[in-house]
Each structure stands twice: as C-alpha cells, then as structure tokens.
Chain A
Amino acid sequence: MKRTLLILLGGLILGGATFCAFYAAEQRATHALNTDGQPELAWLKHEFRLSDAEFERVSGLHEAYLPHCMEMCELIADKRAELDRLLGQSDRMTVEIERVMEESAGLRLRCQKMMLQHFYEVSQAMPPEQGKRYLEWVTDRTFETGFDMPPR
C-alpha cells in the first residue's frame, strides 16, 4: 500500500510541477512586457518584431505625438461637455446645438488626420511587411467607426 500511495502522490506532484513549469514558460514573455515602464510600447515592439533601432525610432515618434494627442483629448472633452450641457437644456434642435455638433465633427476630422499622419510615420519606421501589417491593424482599430459618433 505504501508503494501504491507513493506512486499516486509522486505522479500528482510531478504532474503539478510540469503544469507550473509550462505555465511559467508560456507567461515569461508576457510578464516581461507587463513589467516594462511602457507596456504598450513593449507590446508594439514584440508584436511587430522591431529591432532595437526600429523600436527607438518608433518610440521617438510616439513620444513626440503624445502631447498632440493629449491636447486633442482636452478639446474633445470640452466639446463633449458643451454638447451635453446644451442637450440637457433644450428639447429641440437649436442653432447652438448645430454649431457645437459641426465643431465636434470638425474636431474629429482634425483628430483623424493627425492620427493617420502619425500611423504613416510609425509604419514607415518599421520593416515594410510589419509596417503594412501595423497600418492595417491600427486603422482597423481606430477608423472602424467611420463617420459615426465618437465612441463614449
């Protein structure tokens, strides 16, 4: 009986250890991304297989783009707040509401042009195949709503 229990227990322990080893091995790369200072850029490097030099160029472009993106975020937030206020005050279409909606649409167009410009620059800093793949992926994720209302 001792021998049987030893075999049963030993098998379970070995099986458990194998589970942990394979799980840890699979997680190793992802863990490295997560613990990076900028995990989204670390992910980009990993996903599009960038070399260190390519990654440095892409990071530089990303850092230069961020202030414009934050500025746009502020403008969008202000415009949304303004529209929400006007919609809350009226039960019909007004000239003010129309104006703010047109300004929102104009803002969205500016934003999309700015984004696309950045995406082109980033894709050109990558190897051609990866750049093409990046462009397809990022435009799909950002332009998929087309001319619909911006997602909240």
Chain B
Amino acid sequence: MKIQPDDPEEQPLRTLLQDWRVEAEPAPRFKQEVWRRIDAAESAQEQAQVTPGRLFIGWLDTIFASWRPAVAYVAVLLLLGGGLGLMTGRVQTDATQRQLANLYVQSVDPYQNPASDRP
C-alpha cells in the first residue's frame, strides 16, 4: 500500500508512523553471538575441505612451531646429502680408476691391446 503524501485521509497514519520509535534492547552479548556463529559457519566450511595433505601440513606446522625440530630436520638432510654425495662420488671414482688401470695394462700388454685383435 503506497502512502499518498497529499491524501488527507492518510494523515493520521502518517503521523503515527513518524512518531513510532523502536525501544527494544538487543539480546545480551548479541554482537559476540553473531561473530561466534559466523566463525562456526566458516570452520564448518573449512572442515569440509580438509585433505590428507592439509592434515599433514597442519601436523608439520605443529612440529616446526619450535626451532629445535627444524634445526634437527635440516641437520639430518645435510648429513644425508653429504654422506650420499661422498658415497656416490666414491663409487664413481672407483669405476673410473679401474677403467684407467685397464687402459694402462692395455698399453703395455700387446695381448690385451685391441690393436692385436684385428677382425
């Protein structure tokens, strides 16, 4: 129903509407309750998106909250990296040394020299 501004019959209604004041008090802790419900709704949304990866990262977050586990983790990787590098290098070095030793023997023994084995 649209109020017609110039309609004299609606003047009482107009007056009543202008004089109406809301005096109700909001519920106690109204604002806190609203934010609590917003947080709960957001958490529920996040829970629905939890994946094993996120769980794992979350667990790691807990572990690495302190500096000691982080230092231990880096130290272990340094030791592993160095140890593996040394071992792999050693294996490669031994193989190369054997090849060079064979090369020397072939250079001094005609029977092991490829030049004596013509097709």
A joins B in a complex: yes
CB-CB under 8 A from A23, the residues of chain B are 85-86, 88-89, 92
Question: Is A74 touching B78 in the complex (CB atoms < 8 A)?
Answer: no
The 0/1 profile, CB within 8 Å of A marked 1, for residues 83-96 of chain B is 11110111011001
The 0/1 profile, CB within 8 Å of B marked 1, for residues 35-77 of chain A is 0000111111001000000000000001001100110111011
Secondary structure class of chain A's binding surface, majority of residues: helix
Question: Is A69 touching B93 in the complex (CB atoms < 8 A)?
Answer: no
Given A15-B77, A30-B96, A33-B96, A115 contacting B86 (CB threshold 8 A): no
Question: Is A15 touching B100 in the complex (CB atoms < 8 A)?
Answer: no
Other contacts beyond A65-B108, A142-B111: 15, CB < 8 A: A12-B77, A15-B80, A19-B82, A19-B84, A26-B92, A26-B93, A30-B92, A40-B103, A40-B107, A41-B104, A77-B115, A77-B117, A115-B110, A142-B105, A151-B111
Chain B positions near chain A (C-beta within 8 angstroms)? 57, 60-61, 64, 70, 73-74, 77-78, 80-86, 88-90, 92-93, 96-97, 100-101, 103-105, 107-113, 115-118
